[in-house]
Structure 1
Amino acid sequence: MHALRRLWHDTAGGLPATFWYLWAGLLINRAGAFAMLFLSLYLTDVRGASIGLAGTVVGAYGAGGAAGVLLGGVLADRWGRRSTLLAAHLSTVALMVALAFSQHLLLIAVLSALVGVVHSMPSPAFVAAIVDVVPAERRSRAFNLQFWAFNLGMAVASLLAGVLAEASFTALFLVDAGATLTAAAVIGWKVPETLRPADSAPATHASLRPRRPGGLHTALTDRTFLVFVGLTFVLAVLTMQTSTIMPLAMRADGLGPSAYGLVVALGGALIVIGQLFVPRLIDRHRKDVVLAASTALLALGFGVLVAADELAVYLGAAAVWTIGSMLAAPPNAQINADLAPPQLRARYQAVFYLTFPAAAFVAPTLGGVSLQHLGDRHWLLVGGLGLAAAVGHLIAGPPRERHVAALRREQTPSAAPHDPRHGKAPTTALRS
C-alpha cells in the first residue's frame, strides 16, 4: 500500500486543482460517450437503414469530427478554453436528446454530422487548458494522466454501451446526454478560464520581441511542427490497425469476434493498470528517443502478425504494441505543447488532432487493399513503416529541440535598459 501511495504521489503530485477538474471532466465525458459507438447498429436495427446508408451516416459523423477539431482550436484561442468546452458539451447534450427521439434518416444523418463536430471540439481546448495551468516540468505527468483518463473512460463506455443497447437505444442516447451534462457542470463549476488576455492579444511593449502571425496558417506552415505531425500520423495509422485491419486478419485465421474482443480487452487493461508507471520509465530519457523506442515497439508488435495464426500470438503482439502506445502518449503531447506559441496553442492542438481522423480514413482504405493483395505480408509493410518513423524521430529530435529553445527565447522579454533616473531597470510584464 505504501508503494502504491508513493507511486501515485510521484505520478500525480504537484498538479494544480484546475487540472484535476479538467481531468474529471474528461473522464466523465469519455465514460459517457458511448452512443455513437453503436450508431451503425442503431441505424440498421431500429431505423431500417441499409448497411451502405448506415456507413454513409457514420462517415458524416467522422467528417464532422475533422471540422470540429479545427473549429475547436480556433474558438479555444479566441473565446477561451472554458467557453469552448461548455459550448461543445451543452451542444452535445441537445443533439443527443434530439437523436434519441428522431425517426427520419435524413434528420439523423444531419444530427450525426453535427455531433461529430461538437464531439471533437473539446480536444484542443482540453489540452490547451492543461498546458495553460500545469508548469512545464509537470506536463509530462499531466499528459500521462490525461491519456489514462481517456482510456479508462473508453473502457467504462464500452462496458456500459453493450448493456444499455440491449435495453434501449433511446436510453443509450439519453444517458450519454446526462453524462455529458455532468461533465459540463464540473467544468462550469470548477474550471476557470485559463486563456490569459496576454495570450490572445498582440504584444505592444517595445521591450518584447514581435509576435509571429496568428491563425491556422502559422501552424500549417511551421515545418518543424509539420514533421512532428507527420510522424504522429504514422503512429496513428499503426494504432488504427487494431480496429480496422486486424479484425479481418483474425477472421482469415479462423478466429471469431470473441477472440478479437480478448485482444482489445487486453490492450485496455494494460493501459488502465500500467499507465501510471510510465513517467518513471521515460523521465530520464530524451523525448525523441522515447518516441523512437515506442514506435519501434509498435512496429515489432504489428510485424509479428506476419506469422500469427493463433490467439496466443495475437495476445502477445497486442501486449507489445500497447506498451509502445503507452510510452508514446506523454512525450507526444508534451512536444506538441512545446512547439505551439502560447497565443496559438489551441490551433496547434487542432492541427495535431487532425492526424487521427486522417489515420482513421487512410488505415482502413489502404490497409484493406494491402491485406487483400499482400495477405500476411501486409504486416511486414506496417512494421517497416513503423521502423522508418522510429528513425525519423531520432533524426528530427535534435533540430526540433533547438527550435523549441528558439521559441522560448522569443517568448522571453529583452533586457530592459538601465534607467539612471531611478537607479534601477524598469520592469515589464511578460505576455506569453
Structure 2
Amino acid sequence: MRAVRAWFGDTAGGLPAVFWYLWSGLLINRVGAFAMLFLPLYLTDARGAGDALAGLVVGAYGLGGVAGVLLGGVLTDRWGRRSTLLWSHLTASALMATMAVVTSLPAIALLAALVGIAHSMPGPAFVAAIVDVVPPARRSRAFNLQFWAFNLGMAGASALAGLLAEASYLALFLVDAGATLVTTVIIAWKVPETLVRAAPARPPAGPETVPTRRAGLRTPLTDRIFLAFVALTFAHAVITAQNSTVMPLAMRADGLSSSAYGLVVALGGLFIVVGQLFVPRLIDGRRKHRVLATALGLAAIGYAGLAVADALPGYLLAALVWTIGAMLAAPPNAEINAELAPPRLRGRYQAVFFLTFPAAAFVAPAAGGVSLQYLGNGHWLAVGALGLLALAGHLLAGPPRERRVARLATTPATTSEPTPASTP
C-alpha cells in the first residue's frame, strides 16, 4: 500500500490509508466486473433473445438498481458504511455465481434485477466513506483517483471479457463473482466503520430549519437545487449508458465482433488510465458548471458521431471524444454532490444522486433498443441532442448551485441545515 501511494506522489495529496483500501477494493472489483457489460450479447447470442427483449432484461438490472441505491443510502446512514459495503458485495457475488448456471430467460431477468440491487447498494456507502475520511481540500483528488481506479479496472475487464465472451460466457459470470468476493475480503479486513454516531444538537426553533434526523429521504427529494443537479446527471448517465447497452447492438449490426466491442471499451478505459491523473491540473480553479457543460458537449459530439460510424476506426474515434468528456465530469460531479449534502444525511443524498445511474441503466436499453430498431442511425443524433440540452442546463443551474454551496459552508455544524425547499 505504501508503494502504491508513493507511486502517485503529489497526485495522491496525502490521502489517508482507509481511502487507499477502499480504492483497492474498487479496483479489484472493477477488473472482474464485466459480466453485466456483456449481458446484451449474452442474451442475444447464447439465449436467443431479440434486441428489444434483451433491452428489457438489461433494463431490469437498472430497475433493480433504483431500489438498491435507496436501500443502500438508508443503510449507509443507519447501519453504517462498512456493513453496507460488506453485505452488498457478498450478496452480489452469490447472485452472479447463480446467474452463471441459470438458462431460463425469466429467471435471468429476475436475477438481473436482484444483481442490480446488490450492485447499486455500495455506491452511497463508498462515497460517504470517502467523504468521511478525506478532508474537503483533498476530495477533488480523491474522487479523481476513484474514477481513475474504476476505469483502470474497466479497461482490464473489457479487454479480458472480449476474449472470454467468445470462449465461455460461464467464465464471465464466475470471474465477476470471484472479484466481488475479493473486494468483500479487503473491506472486512482493512476498512473500519467511518460513520460517526454522535447525537445531533437540538436546533433553534424557526421556519428555516428541520431536524435532519427526521427528514430522511424527504430532504434530498425536496431540495430543488440538488434535484436540478441530479436531473442533469441523469441526462449525462443516459448518454453514457449507450456505451454498454445500445452500442454493442449497433456494432454487431455493422458486422463487428464481441472482441471489437471489448477493444472500444478498453480504449476508453486505457485513455482514462493515461490521462485522468492530469485532469486536476486542467480543472482546478475553474467553475464546476462550466467544466460539466464542456463535458456534456464532448459527450454529445462523440455519441452523435456514431451516426456515421460503420467500422472500428469510427467507433474508436468517437469513444476517444466522449471519454475526454467523462474524464472532465467525474471530479466536479462527485464534489458537488458532497458539497450539497448535509453531513448527517450524507448517505441519503448519495442514494438520490446514485439513482441516476440505475435509472439510466433502465431507460437507456429499454428505450434505446426500440429507438435503434426503428430509427437506425437517427438514434445517435437524438442522443447528441440530449447532450446539448444538458449542456445548456448546467450553464443555467450552475450559479445558483454555487451560491447554495457558499451558504452551506457558513452554516454552523451544530445546527440543522436549511430546509432545501425553502431555499430560493
TM-score (norm 2): 0.84
What corresponds to 1:402 in structure 2? 403
**If you compute each CA radius of gyration, which structure gives the higher value, 1 or 2?**
1
- 1:92 deviates by 2.3
Change (3 A) 1:309 1:49: closer
Distance in 1, matches of 2:203 and 2:137, equals 28
Q: Which has the higher contact order (CA 8 A, sep 6+)?
A: 2
What corresponds to 2:16 in structure 1? 16
Percent of pairs with identical residues: 69
- 1:137 deviates by 0.9
SS of equivalent residue, structure 1 residue 285: coil
Specify the code of the residue in structure 1 equivalent to 2:132.
D
Distance in 1, matches of 2:372 and 2:107, equals 36
- 1:320 deviates by 1.6
What corresponds to 1:328 in structure 2? 329
The answer to whether the 8 Å contact 1:7/1:277 transfers is no
Change (3 A) 1:349 1:110: same
- 1:282 deviates by 0.6
Change (3 A) 1:57 1:358: closer
Change (3 A) 1:382 1:42: closer
Deviations 1:33-63 (A, max 9, x none): 23444556666777x6755876665443332
What corresponds to 1:181 in structure 2? 181
What corresponds to 2:71 in structure 1? 71
What corresponds to 1:352 in structure 2? 353
Matches within 5 A, 1:281-296: 281-296=282-297
Distance in 2, matches of 1:362 and 1:385, equals 13
Specify the code of the residue in structure 1 equivalent to 2:152.
L
Pairing 1:270–2:271 present: yes
Q: CA RMSD of the aligned region, Å? A: 3.3
Specify the code of the residue in structure 1 equivalent to 2:144.
N
SS of equivalent residue, structure 1 residue 197: coil
Change (3 A) 1:109 1:15: same
Distance in 2, matches of 1:165 and 1:402, equals 49
Specify the code of the residue in structure 1 equivalent to 2:410.
R
Distance in 1, matches of 2:86 and 2:25, equals 11
- 1:407 deviates by 2.2
SS of equivalent residue, structure 1 residue 347: helix
What corresponds to 2:152 in structure 1? 152
SS of equivalent residue, structure 1 residue 410: coil
The answer to whether the 8 Å contact 1:214/1:343 transfers is no
Change (3 A) 1:49 1:369: closer
Deviations 1:316-338 (A, max 9, x none): 33222110111001001110111
What corresponds to 1:319 in structure 2? 320
- 1:376 deviates by 4.5
SS of equivalent residue, structure 1 residue 117: helix
What corresponds to 2:200 in structure 1? 202
Distance in 2, matches of 1:381 and 1:39, equals 24
Distance in 1, matches of 2:53 and 2:389, equals 38
Question: 95-104 or 185-194, which moves further after superposition?
Answer: 95-104
- 1:309 deviates by 5.2
Gaps of 5+ in 1: 415-432
What corresponds to 1:115 in structure 2? 115
Pairing 1:61–2:61 present: yes
Change (3 A) 1:35 1:193: same
Distance in 2, matches of 1:82 and 1:42, equals 33
- Equivalenced residue count is 407
Matches within 5 A, 1:77-226: 77-100=77-100, 109-164=109-164, 170-198=170-198, 201-204=199-202, 211-212=211-212, 213-226=214-227
- 1:121 deviates by 0.8
- 1:18 deviates by 0.6
Change (3 A) 1:220 1:287: same
Gaps of 5+ in 2: 416-424
Change (3 A) 1:264 1:44: closer
Distance in 2, matches of 1:17 and 1:207, equals 41
- 1:192 deviates by 0.9
The answer to whether the 8 Å contact 2:65/2:119 transfers is yes
